[in-house]
Structure 1
Amino acid sequence: MQIFKVGGAVRDRLLGKPVTDIDWVVVGATTEEMLAQGYRPVGADFPVFLHPKSGEEYALARTERKSGRGYGGFTFHASPEVTLEEDLIRRDLTINAMAEDDQQNLTDPYHGQRDLEERILRHVSPAFAEDPLRVLRVARFAARYAELDFKVAPETLELMRQLSESGELEALTAERSWKEISRALMEDQPQMFIQVLRDCGALKVLMPEVDALFGVPQPEAHHPEIDSGIHTLSVLEQSALHKQPLTVRWACLLHDLGKGLTPEEEWPRHIAHEHKGLKLIKAVNERFKAPKDCQELALLVGQYHTHGHRALELKASTLLELLQSFDVYRRPQRFEEFIAACEMDARGRKGLEQRSYPQAEYLRGAAKAAREVAVQPLLEQGFKGPELGEALKRERLKALETYKEACAS
């Protein structure tokens, strides 16, 4: 029995990055031998065991063969005869197909260390094209290592293009797709994830609503970058630079989908794109079964982001409607995330990345003024039921009018 550290732990150590998750492969062992040493079995698909003390996962070396469509369409074979090289060749990228023993002696049959040095994301073998999930994984690695100037190898991009055209991407489950998408959006350069998906044709399969934004112009006076797709990538980039949570990043990706529906004869204007985009945002939300908080914020940002930009011009009554839509009294954090998404949208414009966004503090102040209206005095005046709600609304409107006047003076 031989035990090797494999995959990301080896890759990141060689890159000088922190090692978080460690994967182990056991060569030359049987299930019975693992159980006899106190390892606990996990799952039924293939032999994976938990270490009796550390709880880390140890997998028997295995080979795999394509047996159906999608990510799950594989049969696995694990036995003591499977070599380390046979186990490594089934992995996606050469930089993930290295192993080392407890003395840090490197086993690198597919030249992963060379590709690390040359900053290349390259597939290990033609079997790469058997797993459609790898299209998303490679795009995610491109986002993760963009800061180190990693690029996808042309031949790997071509395989990803073939996969995108094969119909295999449609076989991916929403859960598996969302896991990769959400992880990619939380990388330091999530815009590279979208760009690589677009480069290989996967974006128009997975998110045609986002792909449709590329080539659609916007008024140059407001958007010096002009292209709606480029703007979306820039907004996503800003959301990462400002360390925004997943909810905000997801909303940033989807906020302008309505612009993809604008007839060409109306370009570069996009009248009512906020409302038109809601059905598209809803469709993308449902396609990937995004978490509820991501879904809700994406829809609200899509509908109201131009309200955010025009906050200082809004009437007190419109401000109140905006605050009510977000339920700022019970869910203040959601409104804070809306403000963040609006600011990322404003900064995601060529040459305007550093421009101040006074609307943010103004909206926070408006929410504070509305929240500070006390209910108790109204109760003491005898208001109750629907009448209490109307009275509370009137008092909040007065508070916002006073707030606006104070800000204007």
Structure 2
Amino acid sequence: MQVYKVGGAVRDRLLGLPVTDVDRVVVGATTEEMLAKGFRPVGADFPVFLHPKTGEEYALARTERKSGRGYGGFTFYASPEVTLEEDLIRRDLTINAMAEDDQLNLTDPYHGQRDLEARILRHVSPAFAEDPLRVLRVARFAARYAGLGFTVADETMDLMRQLSESGELQALTAERSWKEISRALMEDHPQVFIQVLRDCGALKELMPEVDALFGVPQPETHHPEIDTGLHTLSVLEQSSLHKQPLTVRWACLLHDLGKGLTPEEEWPRHIAHEHTGLKLIKAVNERFKVPKDCQELALLVGQYHTHGHRALELKASTLLELLQSFDIYRRPQRFEEFIAACEMDARGRKGLEQRSYPQADYLRGAAKAAREVAVQPLLEQGFKGPELGEALKRERLKALKAYKEAATA
């Protein structure tokens, strides 16, 4: 029995990056031998075990064969006869197909170290094209390592195009797709993920609503970059530079979907795109079974982001409606995330990345003024039920008028 570290642990150590997840492969062992040593089985499809003391994962060396459509369409074969090289060849990229023993002796049959040094993301074998999930994975690695200068090899991009055109991407489950998308959006360069998907034709298959934004012009006075797709990439880039959470990054990706529906004869203006885009945002949310907090923020940002930009011009009554829509009294964090998404949208414009965004503090101040309206005096005056709600609304409106007058004086 021989044990090797494989995949990301080897790759990141060679890159000089922190090693977080350690995967191990066991060569020359049977399931019975692993159980006899106290390992606990956890793999449903193939033999994976947890170490009896550390709880770390150990997988038996295995081969795989395509047996159906999609990510799950494989049969696996694990046996003591399967070699380390046979196990490594089924992996996606050469930089993930290296192994090392406890003495750090490297096994690198597919030249992963060479590709690390050349900053190339390259597939290990033609079997790459059997698994559609690998399109998303490669795009995610491109987003992770873009800052180090990594790019996708031309021949790998060709295979990704073949996969995109084959219809296999449609066989991916919503859960698997979202897992890759959400991880990619939290990488250092999430805009690269979207760009790589677009370059290989996968964006058109997975998120046609986002793909449709490329080539759609916007007024140059507000958008020096003009192209709506490029603007979306820039907004995503800003969301990463400003360390925004996943909810904000997802909202940033989807906020302008309505512009993809504007008739060409109306370009570059996009009247009411905030409302026309809501059905598209809802469709993307449902397609990937997106978590509720991400769904809700994306819809709210889509509908109200232009309100955010025009915050200082809004009437007090409109401002109150905006605050009510976000339920700022019970969910203050959601409104804070809305403000963040609006600021990323404002900064995601060519040459305007460092612009100030006074609307952020103005909106925070408005929310504070509305929250500070006390309920107790109204209760003491005898208001209750619907009448209390109306009285509270009147007092909040009065507070917002006073706030607006003072803030814009």
Superposed CA deviations along residues 36-56 of structure 1, whole A, max 9, x for unmatched, are 111000032100000011100
The aligned counterpart of 2:133 is 133
Paired residue secondary structure (1:269): coil
In 1, distance between residues paired with 2:44 and 2:17? 33
Identity %: 92
Paired residue secondary structure (2:5): strand
Matches within 5 A, 1:4-403: 4-403=4-403
In 2, distance between residues paired with 1:310 and 1:45? 54
Superposed CA deviations along residues 16-68 of structure 1, whole A, max 9, x for unmatched, are 00000000000000000000111000032100000011100000000000000
Superposed CA deviations along residues 303-342 of structure 1, whole A, max 9, x for unmatched, are 0000000000000000000000000000000000000000
Superposed CA deviations along residues 225-244 of structure 1, whole A, max 9, x for unmatched, are 00000000000000000000
Superposed CA deviations along residues 62-111 of structure 1, whole A, max 9, x for unmatched, are 00000000000000000000000000000000000000000000000000
- Work out the number of aligned pairs and report it: 409
In 2, distance between residues paired with 1:408 and 1:355? 20
CA drift at 1:156 = 0.2
Paired residue secondary structure (1:145): helix
Paired residue secondary structure (2:361): helix
CA drift at 1:141 = 0.1
Paired residue secondary structure (1:75): strand
Paired residue secondary structure (2:352): coil
CA drift at 1:408 = 1.9
In 1, distance between residues paired with 2:360 and 2:151? 37
In 1, distance between residues paired with 2:231 and 2:5? 42
Paired residue secondary structure (1:220): coil
Paired residue secondary structure (1:25): strand
Paired residue secondary structure (2:351): coil
In 2, distance between residues paired with 1:408 and 1:305? 21
In 2, distance between residues paired with 1:321 and 1:99? 58
In 1, distance between residues paired with 2:43 and 2:149? 38
CA drift at 1:8 = 0.1
Aligned residues of 2:312 and 2:408 also touching (Cα < 8 A)? no
CA drift at 1:264 = 0.3
CA drift at 1:117 = 0.1
Paired residue secondary structure (1:102): coil
Paired residue secondary structure (1:327): coil
Superposed CA deviations along residues 251-295 of structure 1, whole A, max 9, x for unmatched, are 000000000000000000000000000000000000000100000
In 1, distance between residues paired with 2:234 and 2:50? 43
Name the TM-score, length of structure 1 as normaliser.
1.00
Superposed CA deviations along residues 186-206 of structure 1, whole A, max 9, x for unmatched, are 000000000000000000000
In 2, distance between residues paired with 1:350 and 1:235? 10
Aligned residues of 2:94 and 2:115 also touching (Cα < 8 A)? yes
In 2, distance between residues paired with 1:183 and 1:408? 42
Q: Structure 1 residue runs of 4+, over 3 Å off?
A: none
Paired residue secondary structure (2:156): helix
Aligned residues of 2:252 and 2:341 also touching (Cα < 8 A)? yes
Paired residue secondary structure (1:59): strand
In 2, distance between residues paired with 1:408 and 1:221? 24
What is the root-mean-square deviation in Å for CA atoms of aligned residues? 0.3
Paired residue secondary structure (1:351): coil
In 1, distance between residues paired with 2:69 and 2:407? 60
In 2, distance between residues paired with 1:185 and 1:400? 36
In 2, distance between residues paired with 1:336 and 1:40? 45
In 2, distance between residues paired with 1:330 and 1:376? 17
Paired residue secondary structure (2:33): helix
In 2, distance between residues paired with 1:272 and 1:176? 34
Paired residue secondary structure (1:321): helix
In 2, distance between residues paired with 1:45 and 1:180? 20
Superposed CA deviations along residues 97-154 of structure 1, whole A, max 9, x for unmatched, are 0000000000000000000000000000000000000000000000000000100000
Superposed CA deviations along residues 145-194 of structure 1, whole A, max 9, x for unmatched, are 00001000000000000000000000000000000000000000000000
In 2, distance between residues paired with 1:106 and 1:43? 27
Paired residue secondary structure (2:65): strand
In 2, distance between residues paired with 1:379 and 1:205? 56
In 2, distance between residues paired with 1:45 and 1:19? 27
In 1, distance between residues paired with 2:50 and 2:183? 24
Paired residue secondary structure (2:321): helix
Aligned residues of 2:274 and 2:302 also touching (Cα < 8 A)? yes
Paired residue secondary structure (1:237): helix
Structure 2's unaligned 5+ residue stretches are none
Aligned residues of 2:47 and 2:59 also touching (Cα < 8 A)? yes
Paired residue secondary structure (1:219): coil
In 1, distance between residues paired with 2:408 and 2:130? 62
